[in-house]
Structure 1
């Protein structure tokens, strides 16, 4: 089988990149697999190229490269096909529209897979008629704003299938979308750790993920202050980086200093690979307000760590069995996080038992097993043959008119919010979700 993945930027760092690489490498053991990266900003992938997979970029943004596309005039014009409602729209252009369109209309793969909403829209609109079209959702439906949900409702029925990473999100899409839209829940895959698992003796609590407000590392630091008060020989290590402003890191550093934890709680920055760092710990922790899946939870479990996690929508409860391989606690409750950590810090035998269960139970996320589930879906779709292609001119015109109306309303609301902000007043809708 020939399978092609369309990825935003294979040369960066992120959960979607990691999960796509894991799946592609597993599929490449028996099939012809390529990853097409829309953008390229560095010579080699930060996370390492997956074995046996052809990696092909479409737009080269490396200054000094002989293939540099940054000065192409089309790169300065906003994209028309990639939907404006997708949060990555500013990175897309008429040039990406053209390159993606050329790739999709000429591809010879039997299955083409998109990995974010904007790319799924490209596939639904432009992929070769003979190819099976599959969209992947790595976030959640609830994470998307009204404008993007409108685009999804219109375009996704022209995919042959959509896969989500949790059952909860699959149910949300089934309730949201038309009956004709096929939705399958298939979790992300995580390979077995290449080193020895944690032995439960290291007096270290490990957390990992981007330094963003949604991860609630402030809550974790406050909870850990209670742990240190009772067990001063334990440490907290937080791995990950934030946005380019560094505001979240600065705020966390100030909180750590203010609580007198500078010798116990550490912001470690990025680490790749992360497995050796997991293995140095005895506990993993996640205090997120929301997760789309929870890759780091599975990575920690595959290294033999029990995980204390907030029971936030939608991922952790489908990964952790409370009281068996970890603990689930109420989101936003620092005392509950502290109590769960303290229970495990104080009981080495319990940590070892839960760590062994975590290692055993997380095997269900092995790439070979997850790849087989994707292959089962692809085979079913190939036997059925490609489904509907395009909405027809009348529905397409109606959709475009509706999108223009939504964009106009959005622009008016943005202008009104700006006016209120300048006047010092607070208006409805000022609160904004912060992407994880």
Structure 2
């Protein structure tokens, strides 16, 4: 099959970018034709190495060193009318991106188009051709979105064929809190390939943390916990990989606590696995994680992990006491105690590292790509009408509000009032009975 991924910027670093790179290459391995379309390109070459069989292209050139730089384009200064304001990337979109994305979607010669962030999923739901299967990937979580954006998604996502989430908890949230009749909600974890390096022997006196230095990661909690560790175990150090809005604040905190010679800020590191393999514990102090890709990356190099038990990913990845330890979010003392527990017990640390290495193999790109391809094929088969279905099922109803007759016939009057008018009229004709009118 032919698959097109639409991504904000394929040329940077980050979990969404890396998992799109991994998944596109794994789908190409399975014999599918894959392209990744990046809305923006700010560098001449991507930071991650895309498979040579994957066609990578961009819509808007924001690389100031490029002869094709479009930052001065007159439409670039005009606000977007298509990209939803609730998406926190809204300020980067413009009339130029509206026109380029609309043209891309109108001319799509593909079987499946996949959006990788809410704003792009909205544009796909509204603008992709009817013959193309439309999939919206959720790489954050429903809880991470503003109320304004959630309302938009609840309304517009009905134009999708499927929504995929990275965790079961987030899939449950979509099913429970969003009313998306006819839209399949499936779990598709992020994939992490074998890094192909020697795993850690968990003997180096180093802890590593990986992630953007932003408030959601709660690095002040981590630094506070490490201060307690440093007082008890002065031979241990902490390395932080990532950049973000709190760089200055965190470095000032480290200096204030007298830890400047014990805490090292490495900035963005690609690939990050060699740095992980040179440590003995990975720590995550976040108040929220949509998945927790760094946890899996650490497991793939044999590191035990210490993480807050935050929504949604860590508790689905870590088996507490087997391959890592979970602590309450925001509890600095508990985070310090968990780190010291592994520091003080080398045998347990190494045993957890070996268990993590085994578990990490579950996230290999091949089985996840097979799961993804199977989902896409089911959606294509459903679109083609080749799967067994009730005679008057989704195909009989308007696409954006597809549902089975039985489900709607059994709905309460309260729920029925939320059914769009066109669908109510179709139901009256099909079911031969009156349908509750709007109050």
Q: Quote the offset at 1:159 in angstroms.
A: 0.4
Provide the secondary structure at the position in 2 that maps to 1:206: strand
* Distance in 2 separating the partners of 1:134 and 1:349: 45
Contact 1:40 1:57 in 2 (8 A): yes
Q: Structure 1: which 5+ runs fail to align?
A: 397-436
Contact 1:206 1:236 in 2 (8 A): yes
Pairing 1:67–2:65 present: no
Q: Quote the offset at 1:64 in angstroms.
A: 5.0
Residue 99 of structure 2 aligns with which residue? 98
Residue 156 of structure 2 aligns with which residue? 155
Residue 48 of structure 1 aligns with which residue? 49
Provide the secondary structure at the position in 2 that maps to 1:37: strand
* Distance in 1 separating the partners of 2:162 and 2:103: 22
* Distance in 2 separating the partners of 1:330 and 1:125: 41
Aligned partner (choices 169, 181, 185) of residue 187 of structure 2 = 185
Contact 2:25 2:50 in 1 (8 A): no
Residue 203 of structure 2 aligns with which residue? 201
Q: Quote the offset at 1:226 in angstroms.
A: 1.6
Q: Quote the offset at 1:59 in angstroms.
A: 0.9
* Distance in 1 separating the partners of 2:90 and 2:268: 26
Residue 174 of structure 1 aligns with which residue? 175
Q: Quote the offset at 1:48 in angstroms.
A: 3.0
Q: Quote the offset at 1:295 in angstroms.
A: 0.6
Query: What are the equivalent positions in structure 2 for 1:72-83 lying under 5 Å apart?
Result: 72-83=73-84
Cα pair distance change 1:389/1:90, threshold 3 Å: farther
Contact 2:106 2:129 in 1 (8 A): yes
Aligned partner (choices 280, 286, 289) of residue 288 of structure 1 = 286
Root-mean-square deviation (CA, aligned residues, Å) is 1.7
* Distance in 2 separating the partners of 1:255 and 1:219: 11
* Distance in 1 separating the partners of 2:335 and 2:214: 19
Residue 408 of structure 2 aligns with which residue? none
Q: Structure 1 residues 134-143 or 252-261, which shifts more?
A: 252-261
Q: Quote the offset at 1:282 in angstroms.
A: 0.7
Query: What are the equivalent positions in structure 2 for 1:8-27 lying under 5 Å apart?
Result: 8-27=8-27
1:188-235 Cα deviation digits (max 9, x unpaired):
111112210001111110101000111111111111112122211111
Contact 1:125 1:390 in 2 (8 A): no
* Distance in 2 separating the partners of 1:237 and 1:285: 10
Q: Quote the offset at 1:389 in angstroms.
A: 4.4
Residue 130 of structure 1 aligns with which residue? 131
Residue 367 of structure 1 aligns with which residue? 365
Provide the secondary structure at the position in 2 that maps to 1:56: strand
* Distance in 2 separating the partners of 1:279 and 1:128: 46
Q: Structure 2: which 5+ runs fail to align?
A: 385-394, 402-418, 422-439
Residue 326 of structure 1 aligns with which residue? 324
1:257-289 Cα deviation digits (max 9, x unpaired):
222212211112111111110000010000101
* Distance in 2 separating the partners of 1:146 and 1:270: 31
* Distance in 2 separating the partners of 1:372 and 1:14: 23
Query: What are the equivalent positions in structure 2 for 1:329-368 lying under 5 Å apart?
Result: 329-368=327-366
Q: Quote the offset at 1:61 in angstroms.
A: 1.7
Larger radius of gyration: 2
Provide the secondary structure at the position in 2 that maps to 1:285: strand
* TM-score under structure 2 length normalisation: 0.86
Q: Structure 1 residues 65-74 or 319-328, which shifts more?
A: 65-74
Contact 1:283 1:307 in 2 (8 A): yes
Contact 1:284 1:308 in 2 (8 A): yes
Pairing 1:312–2:310 present: yes
Q: Quote the offset at 1:395 in angstroms.
A: 6.8
Contact 2:205 2:237 in 1 (8 A): yes
Cα pair distance change 1:389/1:215, threshold 3 Å: same
Provide the secondary structure at the position in 2 that maps to 1:289: coil
* Distance in 2 separating the partners of 1:290 and 1:260: 28
Contact 1:38 1:57 in 2 (8 A): yes
Q: Quote the offset at 1:306 in angstroms.
A: 0.5
1:165-194 Cα deviation digits (max 9, x unpaired):
010000000012224321001111111122
Residue 387 of structure 2 aligns with which residue? none
Name segments (4+ residues, structure 1) moved above 4 Å.
386-391
* Distance in 1 separating the partners of 2:247 and 2:193: 30
Provide the secondary structure at the position in 2 that maps to 1:58: strand
Pairing 1:251–2:266 present: no
Aligned partner (choices 227, 235, 238) of residue 236 of structure 1 = 238
Q: Quote the offset at 1:69 in angstroms.
A: 2.2
Q: Quote the offset at 1:67 in angstroms.
A: 2.7
Contact 1:205 1:234 in 2 (8 A): yes
* Distance in 2 separating the partners of 1:229 and 1:133: 54
* Number of residue pairs the alignment of both structures matches: 391
